[in-house]
Chain A
Amino acid sequence: MKFRLSYFVIISSILLFAYFYSQNSIVTSSVVFTAIPFALPLALAAMVGVMCERTGIVNIGIEGTMLVSAFTAFFLGAILKNITAGLFIGIMTGVLVGLLLSVMTITWKMDQIIAGVIINIMAAGITSFLYRQNFRIPSTFAPIDLPILGDIPVVGPIISDHGPITYLGIIFIFGLWVALYKTPWGLRSRSVGEHPSSADTAGVSVVRLRYLNVTIAGAVGGLAGSYLALEAVGIFERGFTAGKGFTALAIMIFGRWNPLGAFAAALFFGLSQAVTNQLMIDEVVQIPQQFVTMLPYILTILILAISAGKVRPPAAEGIPYEKEKV
């Protein structure tokens, strides 16, 4: 019988949840509730990676995409005194970054790792140059009390009362899963990422599909950045994405390039942070703050060390497509 780590994690999580819930339902609910805001930006950023890599483009510039989108979302939201406009602008910023990555990797056929690193460095440069203090957005996106769903016992309090971007993001993740595995777009995208010349000979334009997907992925990166600035934190600081774009890549790999797998991995990540925070609050453990900061980074490395070599990335990943070399 094949041992699947993911099933093991899911089942033991449910059992653990049941145990803790029976011990202290309020604290347990609140821990799981707070896991979601930890998980969501990671999950959305991982979707950026899934979309790009499934069509064969390695995107290591997710961090930069989120950073610069959070920046524009926050500052234009503050200047226009309208967070919805800020959200729109944040998403459009992501689109632009996605287009830039497309040009660099698809048209110029730049090394994809270098292209992504450059996006990160440019994002850090431009946001720290243009950064100004004393800007405020009118408010963050208010939580939504889900009708009906919110009244379900046990689960209701956990899934209800999150902000609109959270729900939008979760809907997107499930939608992406359907699109990737059940629609022509998904079949074509996966073919392009595995064996682009097959898709090309079947009349699918490799270049056009890669542009489309990397650009849409940019928009998702913009959504993730906007979420941080407009819903989760409500401020912008230099470099405040704090490596989430890289952790997301590990989550994507751990989730085997599958949207739902990556979402589950992100939830696991978020839960581990929420639990750590709760332990700190309860003073159950005395860990220096710096070690708590380190936790997601160490987890990222551990996850990669465990899953790399066992998972199979899209075969055409990282390789520019040369049409005349079929």
Chain B
Amino acid sequence: MLSMQLAFRNLIGAGLRTWLNVTVLSFAFVVIVFYNGMLDGWNMQAINDTRDWEIGKGQLWHASYDRYDPFTIQDSHGGISGHIRSMVAAGRVTPILITQASAYPAGRMLNVVIKGIDPDQRILELPTQSLAQTTNELPAIIGKRMASRAHLKKGDQVLIRWRDKNGTFDAREITIVSIFDSNVPTIDNGQFWIPLAKMQQMTGMTNEATLLVSREPLNNEAVEPWIYKDEKYLLKEFGEIMQQKKGSNKIIYGLLLSIALLGIFDSQVLSIFRRQKEIGTYIALGMTRSQVLKVFTVEGSAHSILALGLGALYGIPVLAYLHQRGIPMPKSADDAGIAISESIIPLYSFGMVLSTILLVVISSTIVSYLPARKISRMNPTDALKGKIQ
């Protein structure tokens, strides 16, 4: 307790030097919380959006299907039968049939993917009910990115050409009945969503699907010959991107923290050099060397306590404001191909804030302790005389 009192009294007594160190450290603290909060917010939003719009709570894939290999699409389709059929009937899974095609908006050719989906499905947030509420013979819904790329708007007709299961060309005009706005580009870019039954009829793949999206995890259910891919697997790449992002952000705030800690280290070296008489007096009054070392270490690490206080003073209103308003993302961020909304709502979890506090306190304690170790090697008599050691 005595060491704490001494530490704070000395710190306050040091005046501007202390407050400069504290300000820089508090800035590093707030920036770390902000960066981590932004990434956690993005992560959470992207996972939720991807789950709601694309992957559900897991997917059943045809054995040949590989979402990263377009060459597999042609042969990745199989019949829905037995247990899987009853799951479809119960609304637990919804089938999607995929085929590659060419679209010809205004005489240009675009390579696209046509996806057939049940208009009555309720697992994904795609506005598939628009496909049911139309009298158009071949209706389609597309995302805003696809609409922009192909210069299409609601009500437009566009010719598409595809091959059926035997490889024979077929071509028809489809009508855009709805354009949806989703943060998930992987269900939007280059894709037309049409009714599943039409798709099966067009390709000759009656009662077949490429994959099925599940409403709930199916970890312990027999789904053969389909292959179950759980949420963790389907979000794996996104998790890796986040880890990479966090890694690069660590470098930025690591540099910032280093600058702040360097200030504390510098102050500690100077204090020990200039306050040798004081150190000698402490020892002469009966304190052990380790007790004196503790006083100086606590004094250094007390910078972090003050920094946390100061950071909280201006950081909480700023971070709360950002949490409420969100952080606007540039338009170009959408081209990255990963789910990102127009503005990110930062997420400040208790664990993240606590770990940041511990990082700041522990690191400042370490940099305070390192120069203070010199005290344990000091000769108290010389120190009392003020002899430079």
> A and B, one complex?
no
- Chain A interface (Cβ < 8 Å from any Cβ of B): none
